[in-house]
Amino acid sequence: MTTDVHQLDDGAWISVNDSREVNVSDLWLLARSDFCGCETTDFLAEGFVEVGVDYPDIQARIAGQCIACGESGVTDWLTVGRVVDPDSGEFYGVVHESVHFPEKRTRLANAKK
Amino acid sequence: MPSKVEKWKDEVYGNEIREHLMEFAEQGWDAIPEDEHDAWFERFKWWGLYHQRSGQESYFMMRIGTPNGVIKPGQLEVIGEVAKEYASGPADNPEFGDAYCDWTTRQSIQLHWIKLEDIPEIFEKLEAVGLGTQQACGDSWRNIVGCPVAGKDKHEHVDAWPVAEDLHETFKGNDDYSNLPRKWKVAIAGCDEGCGQGDINDLAFEPAEKDGELGFNVRIGGGLSRKEPRLARDIDVWVPPEQAADVAHGMSTLFREHGDREDRFNARIKFLMDEWGPEKMRSVLQEEYVDFELETAGEDMRDQYSYNTGSQDGHNDHVGIHEQKDGNYYVGLNVLVGRMGADDVIELAELADEYGSGEVRLTQRQNIIVTDVPEENLDAFTSEPLLEDYSPEPSPFMRGSIACTGTEYCSLSIVETKNRQVRYARWLKDNVELPEDHKDFHIHLSGCTASCAQPQIADVSLRGMKTRKDGEPVEALDIGLGGGLGDDPRFADWVEMRVPADEVPGAIKNLVNNFEDAREGGETFRDFVEDRDEETLAEMVEPEETDYHDPYMHNTKMTWYPYAEDDDMQSSPAPTDGSGEPLPSDD
Ligand code: HEM
Ligand code: SF4
Ligand SMILES: [Zn+2]
């Protein structure tokens, strides 16, 4: 089966194969990003703007704010989890409290709004 | 490429959703195919059902749309009974118990913890008395809002209630408008107080006179969401009451054809207004969507508006006892954060019957009005014990409080809202003294930027955020000041960001004291804010811990229910079957 990913309820959460998997209101630590001037961005996720699949990664661009410096905006592509076996469709979320590296470009097959 | 939601809407949307909903309800929660959950939950919104947040799967928020907030005789009792019988979940709320109604900022009603299996029975009970949930959420004409005392008020120039009712009947369930690019919010008012709140709706009719005739001027494109607040803009059109429906038809058809269906974030008509401007909006409406010559705008009454102006005289809200034009009285009762226990609702229905006509009305400030009370009944009515909790003469901090749904049920939320605002209001009442001449002071708390509590039009605006305190993430609020409506509406200036939620009452206390010291003469709070720059204002908001205690600092969104004894997400009983027994979960 193909992995079906979208954001719903005005970007409140990411659905992976009709299961709510990633929610707004979590804090993510972003390193090596130019989101703000902080060494690591202490990022509050307020809304999922775009989602896509770069097998096996599920990726998203997230609107939110650095709660250390106050800079707000939309991140580059972040891996929010993986679907390792497309047949089972099982989703493994990343630990959002650990450090993440947003990517400028991505090989998204089917980025969707 | 049209969005996913548009694809689902193309397949099934509007009235036809109902048969599917009923079928699923008959068969039970498990009957909804797992790979169709998202599509069906998106569609159910059209019938007023919103799937609650993570950890509360299989439970729905149900919204009942009451146009202009009018609840006719006999309806309130049914609303209370439905809430009592069906709106209780697996855990109680420590402030409000286990069954309650929320009166909303768009004059609607929200019930929570509704089970799919109970929906047919609930619909039957509501519809038997003329109530319904159709189009209460979803991409269509939403509940029409207006002056809650339309038809009763002494300040009224055009009775907007029959017009609102006509719009409701014309556009509810009408297949031509059932699938719009996004929600469509309409306000209509005929009084000179400005309490329709037209300025923050997609389409607004406000009273105006043209060549000696009373009708409405039209404004388009207001809205508060997503850090993109807009005031509705004047498109230089006046309509007589009998043509309001034609212009509404024209505007909502224009929106249907021109709204952005590829990007839901850009779909509201406020963004089309950004792109087109009012002149083009008017000319496209004239040329393509109405078949008569539009009149230019008439003379409006905005300079008389007093509602939510912060002017400290006139009608800032509808709380209190006011004479109607028929010589009876309406009694506006304060409902703190809009939430009322089901038993209280049932009791109020009895009192409204006994002392008034049985009719009540909801305001856009989450309060309730008992109308048609004869003068000789006023004393007995206002001495009823129920009115100690829902007072017509509340403290300004109780009266001015509005809060949205927040982390209790809402997916978008960042922070806890209603219970927190209840605690704020109590603490402020006991600890803060407003200047003598300030009877109105509005504090609105929204759990995120969607702005359901309309924070940008409050004296003190609070919006959900997070920060770190001693390294630990805690719930926090951005603080804005000086918003309000009136002739010259103004959105709040956000002056102090990410204040830990337990330091907000202290911040408001310091702000009020600093205002009292620094104000010149009889300067109102709103003028005071308008006349000072953000830096000066930011210095006056001094966040501070006090003896206020906040039990919700701990990132309540990560719980399955913020007030449950064991609130851990893993301990959620959801999803449950029709009788509330946990079902095996798919993940
Ligand atoms: C489950 C609970 C709720 C959810 C998920 C929700 C969702 C939203 C969203 C996403 C928006 C902004 C999006 C847009 O521009 O269309 C919004 C705005 C708004 N909602 Fe809610 N809402 C909820 C409850 C409420 C309640 C209780 C009220 C009270 C009537 C309410 C009234 C409003 C108002 C007045 C606005 C802002 C004004 C505007 O932009 O038009 N909502 N809501
Ligand atoms: S303002 Fe945000 S948190 Fe509050 S009810 Fe609306 S969407 Fe939910
Ligand atoms: Zn930063």
Q: pLDDT digit string (tens) for B361-401?
A: 999 999 999 999 999 999 999 999 999 999 999 999 999 99
Distance B135 CA to ligand 1 centre (A): 14
Q: Select from B54, B417, B444 the residue to mutate for testing ligand 2; criterion: most ligand atoms less than 8 Å from CB.
A: B417
What letter would DSSP give residue B444?
E
What letter would DSSP give residue B484?
B
The CATH T-level fold of domain B150-304 is: Sulfite Reductase Hemoprotein; domain 1 (3.30.413)
Structure token pair of residue B108? 């609607």
Closest residue by CA, ligand 2 atom 5: B405
Alpha helices per DSSP H over B16-116:
17-27, 37-44, 75-86
Match 């000041």 to its residue by tokens: B481
Per-residue pLDDT at B72 exceeds 90: yes
Distance B508 CA to ligand 2 centre (A): 22
Separation of alpha carbons B491 and B194, rounded Å: 16
Distance to chain A for B436, nearest Cα, Å: 37
Those residues whose C-beta lies under 8 Å from the C-beta of residue B197, and which sit 6 or more positions away, are B145, B187, B307, B308, B364, B457, B485
The mean pLDDT of B77-96, rounded to a whole number, is 97
ipTM of the complex as predicted: 0.92
Chain A interface disruption, residue of B227, B466, B474, B495, most A CBs within 10 A: B466
The mean pLDDT of B111-134, rounded to a whole number, is 97
CATH code of B4-128, in short, is: 3.90.480.20
Look at A8 and B37 and tell me if their CB atoms are within 8 Å. Answer: no
Distance A53 CA to ligand 2 centre (A): 28
Which residues sit opposite A59 in a β-bridge? A52, A79
**Whole-number percent of chain B with pLDDT over 70:** 99
Look at B412 and A112 and tell me if their CB atoms are within 8 Å. Answer: no
Query: pLDDT by residue (tens digit) across B174-194?
Result: 999 999 999 999 999 999 999
Atom of ligand 2 nearest to the CA of B447: 3
Which ligand number lies closest to the CA of residue A37? 3
Q: What is the DSSP string of B56-71?
A: -TTEEEEEEE-GGGEE
Residues in the ligand 2 pocket, defined by CB under 6 Å:
B 404-406, 410, 412-413, 446-448, 450-452
Give the C-alpha distances (Å, rounded to integers) separating B555 from B53, B561, B574.
15, 11, 20
Structure token pair of residue B75? 């309806």
Distance B410 CA to ligand 2 centre (A): 6
Query: pLDDT by residue (tens digit) across B13-58?
Result: 999 999 999 999 999 999 999 999 999 999 999 999 999 999 999 9
Burial of residue B62 (number of CB atoms within 10 Å: 0-12, 13-18, 19+)? buried
The number of C-alpha atoms within 13 Å of B299 and in the hemisphere containing its C-beta is 8
Instruction: Identify the pLDDT of residue A108.
Output: 54
Compute and round to an integer the Cα radius of gyration of chain B. Answer: 23
Chain A interface disruption, residue of B54, B405, B477, most A CBs within 10 A: B54
Closest CA to A93 of A8, A1, A28, A10: A28
Separation of alpha carbons A9 and A56, rounded Å: 25
Per-residue pLDDT at B489 exceeds 80: yes
Cβ within 8 Å of A, B 286-345: none
Q: Establish whether domains B150-304 and B399-554 are of one fold.
A: yes
Residues in the ligand 1 pocket, defined by CB under 6 Å:
A 9-10; B 50, 61, 102, 104-106, 108, 110, 183, 185, 200, 223-225, 268, 404-405, 409-412, 450-452, 454
**Chain B residues with beta carbon closer than 8 angstroms to that of A20:** 54, 57
Distance to chain B for A103, nearest Cα, Å: 23
The C-alpha angle with vertex B46 and arms to B42 and B50, in degrees rounded to 5, equals 55
Closest CA to B425 of B339, B492, B329, B336: B336
Helices (H) and strands (E) in chain B, counts: 16, 21
The mean pLDDT of A46-59, rounded to a whole number, is 93
The CATH T-level fold of domain B399-554 is: Sulfite Reductase Hemoprotein; domain 1 (3.30.413)
Q: What is the DSSP string of B175-200?
A: GGGSS-SS-B-EEE--BTT-TT-GGG
Split at pLDDT 50, 70, 90, the class of A107 is low
Q: Who among A8, A12, A25 is closest to B42 (CB)?
A: A8
Cβ–Cβ under 8 Å, residues B537 and B481? yes
Residue B159's CB is within 10 A of a number of other CB atoms, namely 18
Structure token pair of residue B476? 């926090």
Q: What is the DSSP string of chain A?
A: ----EEEETTTTEEEETTEEEEETT-EEEEES--SSSSSEEEEEEEEEEEEEEETTEEEEEEEEEETTT--EEE--BEEEEE-S-TTTT--EE--TTSEE--BS----SS-B-
Cβ–Cβ under 8 Å, residues B434 and B441? yes
The mean pLDDT of B465-478, rounded to a whole number, is 96
- Please report which helix (H) or strand (E) contains residue B389, including its range: helix B386-389
Amino acid letter for position B85: E
The mean pLDDT of B195-202, rounded to a whole number, is 96
**Chain A residues with beta carbon closer than 8 angstroms to that of B45:** none
Q: Domain-by-domain residue ranges, chain B?
A: 4-128, 150-304, 320-390, 399-554
Give the C-alpha distances (Å, rounded to integers) separating B540 from B72, B193, B515.
46, 31, 8
- Measured in whole angstroms, the distance separating CA B367 from the mean position of its chain's CA atoms is 11
The mean pLDDT of B126-133, rounded to a whole number, is 97
Distance to chain A for B50, nearest Cα, Å: 10
Which ligand number lies closest to the CA of residue B412? 2
Those residues whose C-beta lies under 8 Å from the C-beta of residue B49, and which sit 6 or more positions away, are B21, B60, B61, B62, B63, B114, B119, B133, B137
Phi, psi for B568 (deg, rounded to 5) = -60, 135
**Chain A residues with beta carbon closer than 8 angstroms to that of B265:** 10-11, 49, 113
Query: pLDDT by residue (tens digit) across B413-435?
Result: 999 999 999 999 999 999 999 99
Class of domain B320-390: alpha beta
Look at B466 and A112 and tell me if their CB atoms are within 8 Å. Answer: no
Cβ within 8 Å of B, A 70-89: 70, 72
Distance to chain B for A34, nearest Cα, Å: 21
B585 at interface of A, judged by CB pairs closer than 8 A: no
Per-residue pLDDT at A105 exceeds 80: no
Distance to chain A for B23, nearest Cα, Å: 20
Chain A interface disruption, residue of B226, B412, B477, most A CBs within 10 A: B412
Closest CA to A29 of A81, A94, A83: A94
Instruction: Identify the pLDDT of residue A106.
Output: 57
